[in-house]
Structure 1
Amino acid sequence: MAIVEADRGHEKPQPQTAPLIVHVVRQFLPNRGGLEDVVANLSRQTVRRGYRVRVVTLNSLFTAPEDKLPARENIDGIEVVRIPWSGSSRYPLAPAVFRHLGDADLVHVHAIDFFFDALAWGRLLHGKPMIVTTHGGFFHTRKYAAIKKIWFRTLTRASAMAYQRVVCCSASDLKQFSEIVPGSMLIENGADIGKFADSAARRAQRRIVTIGRFSVNKRLDHLLDAMAVLKSRNGEWHLDIVGAESDLNREDVEGAIESRHLSGSVTLHVSPDNGAIRRIIAEASLFVSASEYEGFGLVALEAMSAGLLPVLNANDAFVTLAGRHPVIRLADFTKAEAAATAIETGYEALQRAPDAVRSELLGATRGYSWDIVAGRYIDLYQSLDIAAGQD
């Protein structure tokens, strides 16, 4: 999970003659997560480049569906429109999306879900040019894997034909989507590298941070198993779990901690703000993720920008990231002893050469700044005859 804070009304409104990009995404601010972070940062950068931006999203968070959010809001110069929905959070149904596309110059859909399919099959109703960013597709867990593959190769393939471009945000997405859309292109996600910049502890500490939604696929159980091994080897180890409730709630995670007798060695932080997260990071040296699936690995990059050394489960996205940045450590978190040893080895590397490791971590993240990534999207928008923004 990447944390985004909504600072309202800081951007100068764009003239009504400026081209309008409409982003369609199932969850947005005030929710916190990787998808929300990408859309928010891209939208802010697009506004700064002279475009008008509207985000159409659902009117409640999946974690609190009964609490309705304002139907309209302005966040950082971004027009936010929230619409009613029904059904499952896995495939929320929200046909009111069609009411908010009439003045769009381009519709940018995020993720492969109801919006992706509905806007594709309803393109004769709205008639707008569209692109989609994949955000990992819908293979976040192995559950229903056979059905997902059939869906992907049939309905997803057919829906993708309605889009001018299918944009993949990771090499693993590109490999997958190129099988059904040969013209798929790669624009990797940006990272907010200024948010926690250079804030990790200066001296090596046996303190670990993990950041992410409390989702089953993040495999906090595996991470806690590794933490139990670490504690048995050295009682100084401490883990801070930072995130928002999702498939798992606070009670689920607390129960997992207590069942392993880790209450004194693990601290749970539910939905802290960025200032609080920065203070947590300031006492830590390592970032760890046992996640079995990631669309890109955004949170690992944000951790690296803080100076935290990542020790990551060897899923496809993290393997790709580590191949590009050798400073990243990989481990098999299904094996608690081996994962604990990998964490200890990372700590020892920091002890030996703290300044060199930190310099490598910070240098590795510079190419992921949102200024650079947004420029790639603007180039794409303009290649589709979307008029350039007004300076």
Structure 2
Amino acid sequence: MALEATAEQANAAPMIVHVVRQFLPNRGGLEDVVANLARETVKRGYRVRVVTLNTLFTARDRKLPSHEIIDGIDVVRIPWSGSTRYPIAPQVLRHLADADLVHVHAIDFFFDALALGRVLHRKPMVATTHGGFFHTQKHAALKKIWFQTLTRFSAMNYKRVVGCSASDIAQFSQIAGNTVLIENGVDIGKFADSASRQPRRRIVTIGRFSVNKRLDHLLDVMQVLAARDPEWHLDIVGSESDLKGADLTREIAARGLDRAVGLHVGIANPEIRSLISAASLFASASEYEGFGLVALEAMSAGLNPVLNRNAAYVALAERKMPLSIADFSDPENAAAAIEQAFATIAAEPAAMRDALIAAARPYSWDHVAGLYIDLYRSLGIPAFQRIAA
């Protein structure tokens, strides 16, 4: 009877359905945020489902399992068509019937379709912006029109629109009065305290290989650094997107940086941790970030970040974070900032390491998930504690 009661109570737990275009096994900022939030919600006893697309954008010909359980998360994958920027997947509506709340991630087809389809599914919804769709200036005029029309209309159908950075709040509060701020969490255990304990002229950059990450600018900076001191080395880590590994290999060779730059495509966290253990610095030349998640992960490892002057990174700097802001479109300027960052960590390695790790600690997922649970509760989704085994 006790087992039956436990099962009955577990089945009565609220169901949170996350909808996101890409999920595990793909790795990236968006995927990591959804995975960490889902795991933390499962820990708190909720039932959690993720509805996502059935192929990775980097391998559209390989179908992933239509259903899978990952870390206690019910993962459902559905077919899609169209472009990776706006993938069309109407079957999403089939997987919402038992949802107590639908949580949509990013501003894309799902955001618009579930808003327009609210008359059919009748589920309360929240959405997290994840930077919207302003990551590049491409089609900027069209994006502004879309944002002020369809995005504005869609946002009206959500109970809350969650901006995950100050820049997102500034953008979305123009069209949605129900916008609230919950900054992304950071998996501070993933690479915790793993940077080299001896100052080394080695840099790591981590992220999806996208044009807006401006890896070309970072390679230009490496040309300057390597010419000044052959000890400088950069490891580029990430997964393919609108740039492929072959594209970056050509860029590296064109600058004569084959010995100064390592390229690591799709490697797992233990391998990334190994690269971090040989480095002292993190760099990002990205033109746009929704929040700056990877910079905080780097800080949790003890890497000293040098970041391009974009809104998300500047917002972190304004909080007196131990990081440096530079103009990566100016190779000399960014190279000087990287050299100064190395000098800072070389002068007091232990103190700087402690400051970096301490600055990342308040962004733990345990804290951020609690803020989301509070938001869910404010919308009528009851709190739920896991039944003890």
Shift >4 Å, 4+ stretches? none
Report how many residues are paired. Answer: 380
* Structure 1 residue 16 displacement after superposition: 1.4
Cα distance in structure 1, aligned partners of 2:86 and 2:55: 14
| Alignment-derived partner of residue 7 in structure 1 | none
Cα distance in structure 2, aligned partners of 1:248 and 1:199: 28
What secondary structure is seen at the aligned counterpart in 2 of 1:137?
coil
| Alignment-derived partner of residue 5 in structure 1 | none
The answer as to 2:289 corresponding to 1:297 is: no
Match of 1:343 among 338, 342, 354: 338
The answer as to 2:179 corresponding to 1:195 is: no
Matched AA of 1:301: L
Structure 1, unpaired ranges of 5+: 1-11
| Percent of residue pairs bearing the same amino acid type | 68
* Structure 1 residue 304 displacement after superposition: 0.2
| Alignment-derived partner of residue 57 in structure 1 | 52
Match of 2:283 among 283, 288, 291: 288
Cα distance in structure 1, aligned partners of 2:48 and 2:177: 29
Matched AA of 2:97: G
Query: What is the TM-score with the length of structure 2 in the denominator?
Result: 0.96
Cα distance in structure 1, aligned partners of 2:173 and 2:375: 18
Query: What is the TM-score with the length of structure 1 in the denominator?
Result: 0.96
What secondary structure is seen at the aligned counterpart in 2 of 1:149?
helix
The answer as to 2:261 corresponding to 1:229 is: no
| Alignment-derived partner of residue 162 in structure 1 | 157
| Alignment-derived partner of residue 93 in structure 2 | 98
The answer as to 2:40 corresponding to 1:45 is: yes
Matched AA of 1:162: N
Cα distance in structure 2, aligned partners of 1:132 and 1:214: 25
Match of 1:325 among 320, 329, 342: 320
The answer as to 2:246 corresponding to 1:261 is: no
What secondary structure is seen at the aligned counterpart in 2 of 1:324?
coil
| Alignment-derived partner of residue 4 in structure 2 | none
Residue deviations 1:297-327 (CA, integer Å, cap 9, x gap): 0000000000000000010000001111331
Matched AA of 1:191: V
Match of 2:378 among 361, 379, 383: 383
The answer as to 2:14 corresponding to 1:19 is: yes
* Structure 1 residue 183 displacement after superposition: 2.6
* Structure 1 residue 390 displacement after superposition: 3.4
- Kindly indicate whether the alpha-carbon contact (under 8 Å) linking 1:228 and 1:262 is maintained by their aligned counterparts in 2: yes
Cα distance in structure 2, aligned partners of 1:88 and 1:278: 33
| Alignment-derived partner of residue 369 in structure 2 | 374
Match of 2:23 among 28, 32, 44: 28
| Alignment-derived partner of residue 6 in structure 1 | none
Cα distance in structure 2, aligned partners of 1:211 and 1:265: 16
The answer as to 2:276 corresponding to 1:270 is: no
The answer as to 2:207 corresponding to 1:212 is: yes
What secondary structure is seen at the aligned counterpart in 2 of 1:365?
helix
| Alignment-derived partner of residue 250 in structure 1 | 245
Cα RMSD over matched residues?
Answer: 1.1
- Kindly indicate whether the alpha-carbon contact (under 8 Å) linking 2:321 and 2:359 is maintained by their aligned counterparts in 1: no
* Structure 1 residue 15 displacement after superposition: 1.9
| Alignment-derived partner of residue 310 in structure 2 | 315
Match of 1:123 among 112, 115, 118: 118
* Structure 1 residue 351 displacement after superposition: 1.0
Cα distance in structure 2, aligned partners of 1:13 and 1:265: 59
- Kindly indicate whether the alpha-carbon contact (under 8 Å) linking 2:159 and 2:178 is maintained by their aligned counterparts in 1: no
* Structure 1 residue 13 displacement after superposition: 12
- Kindly indicate whether the alpha-carbon contact (under 8 Å) linking 1:332 and 1:339 is maintained by their aligned counterparts in 2: yes
* Structure 1 residue 182 displacement after superposition: 2.1
What secondary structure is seen at the aligned counterpart in 2 of 1:15?
helix
